[in-house]
Structure 1
Amino acid sequence: MADLAVRYGVGVRRPCEATEFPRATHNYKPRHESQEASRMRLRKLATDRVRYGYRRLHVLLLREGWAVDVKRVHRLYGLERLTLRRKSPRRRVSSRHRDDRPAVEAADQAWAMDFMSDALADGRKLRVLTVIDLFTRESLAIRVGVRFTSGRVAEVLAEVARGRGAPSELRVDNGPEFTGKMLDLWAYLNGVPLDFSRPGKPTDDGFIESFNGRVGEECLDQGYFTDLEDAREKVEAWRIDYNEVRPHSALGYLPPRSSPQPRPGRRPPRPTEKLSFSRSNFPGQVSLYEAFPPEQARRIAERLEIHHTPKHGAWLNVAEIELSVLSRQCLDRRIGSMDELEREVAAWEEERNERRVETRWRFTTADARIKLHRI
């Protein structure tokens, strides 16, 4: 319109009238919401927690009340150049999968232990003992010392077990601290079988190896330890933050101690509600924080047990069958307004409930498995 106005020496109104172009559209000025505040907060969080990715930073922002979705955080994360390059090691030899261990189904059913190494500012070597619960993913203990013996490891386990009881199983590697007589004696007296990983196969204890990676990246590599006591204080502070604040992806981005996991000796959790969704309709518990305040979203997440239907398996969800019946019996014609649509659907629902109509499931378990295998 501006070009036509300049070419014919007239105002903008006449070209708009001649071309039937709304002047309001021509005069519209886009209003961009300032994102500087959220960028500054994201940058500050990423500075404090260097090894956090954009998903964990997004959860922290939602907890603080920022109205941002994960796509915006991902875009700002890239604009601020906060991404870190991941090194993917090349597999040099072929391997076959080991038979999986039985799944852990309760707290204190299985613990895992391992050692890490670091150094003080003066160059003295440090040994770090880590103990985790494989079900709740809680860090039970992180001990820092110059030297650990089998007896010292047994003392740490006895200290942890004093407050919550001994585990049903203890998974360790073949290090000398774990194969010593004192640890073997403690395990025998407490009735705890020791499950040793295969030599040269750290992947047998993948959970503890992953946890050690987080300890190294987020604590040991970021810290500067002047002496042994300073190292112990900083490591213990990180352990508390890990258990009570840090979002854990395997727990629906909840901290280990706030996740709704049953624990012996504690009040049983509130009953959960089982819901079935497709992944496109309910991407995960993070979406609850986008729709509700943080505290309310956490309460809802603790009560929900989400079951996602498999890909190309929406027919397994009874709700999909109910929607298809609704579309055939009620939505098979043109409806003029939203109010009329709501009345029609409400009347259809009331009439269907009065007749106590049940959904006829057409697939047995065997038939469903056969169809899923063919897809």
Structure 2
Amino acid sequence: MEQRLSARIRNIKPSATMSVDSKTKQLLAQGQSVVNMSVGEPDFDTPTAAALAGVKAIANGQTKYTEAAGTLVLRKAIAAKLMSENGLQYAPEQIIVSNGAKHTLYNVCMAILDDGDEVILPAPYWTSYPEQIAVAGGKPVIVAAGADTGYKVTPRALEQAITPKTRAILLNSPSNPTGAVYHEDELAALGEVLRRHDVYIILDEIYERLVYDVKHVSLAALCPELKDRVLLVNGFSKAFAMTGWRLGYVAAPPDVAKAINSFQSHSTGSPSTMSQAAGVVALENFDPTVVDTFKRRRDKLVQGLNSLEGVHCLMPEGAFYAFPDISGVIGRSYEGQAINSATDYCELLLEHGLVASVPGEAFGAPGHVRFSYAVADSDIVEAIERMRRFHQKLS
């Protein structure tokens, strides 16, 4: 056969974060002491009560298929959470549980996009968004949202990006990779624009509990008249440190929820039964002290980054990422090796400084680097010291 793979698969770009993590693990296997700040995975454990609920489910024989949409118990618990914490009323039938929020986002794209449909995607964006949109036949329309606006899209930029082909806009708050959080007035202004256009609004709120000095507000609650077009995505990986449990969900209008349920029933089927049992208990066992821990680490990392020559980092208000602008380093070299991009910088920093990070090109933001501070305080201190020695050798 001349061509063994489909065009949709050939066109997918590998995950930059997973690629860096793979290289990091190779160095670790070789005995190198790498500070890994590349992957967005909390370094604390799943809440004990939730973990035990998962174990109990296995011991009690809860290892069979559930409904494709997830257990009614979990969907009721999610509905109760959305009402009590977000002021949003959803019936259990409007909630579809999937194998992680990444899977949920893919389901959403498959349910609402036809070939050529445009999805407005503010940049910087999470690396998987454009690939998921493209695989579903859609076209990502990238709208720059730089440091001058706090890495948040403005109403004017949103208005200018909307065309007759626009099917949806995807907003991520708090943001991966920038840590930016849309404030209430900013969301209200975006809502004014969206009222005038019949497009879906995909809200990725996976980091909603991890905010610092600000309050998380959902556009769906702030602008209830838009709720029938909102696809609200969330999950358990970040706030509950349940990355390996693979559990996410979407709350959607009834017709979209029904379509996603049908699609999922023919693809993955139901999510993990024991993970769902753990999820029910996790919703009642969030540990707010993790927010204080992340805030302390954030402050330590950002202060350290801003002490480095050629680096400038805004203070993130949510998630657990710092996203410094390193354009002041571009054009310099390390021991004769040119740094012409953030990718060059990250590769050299990993090889010679043993600090793993992700270049901004992966997020549609050249000249930037993402550092995860979901690592121990001591690792942050060590990473900054290694980076300082690395920068001292730049010429």
TM-score (norm 2): 0.26
- The structure with the larger Rg is 1
Which gives a bigger RCO, structure 1 or 2 (Cα 8 Å, sep 6+)? 2
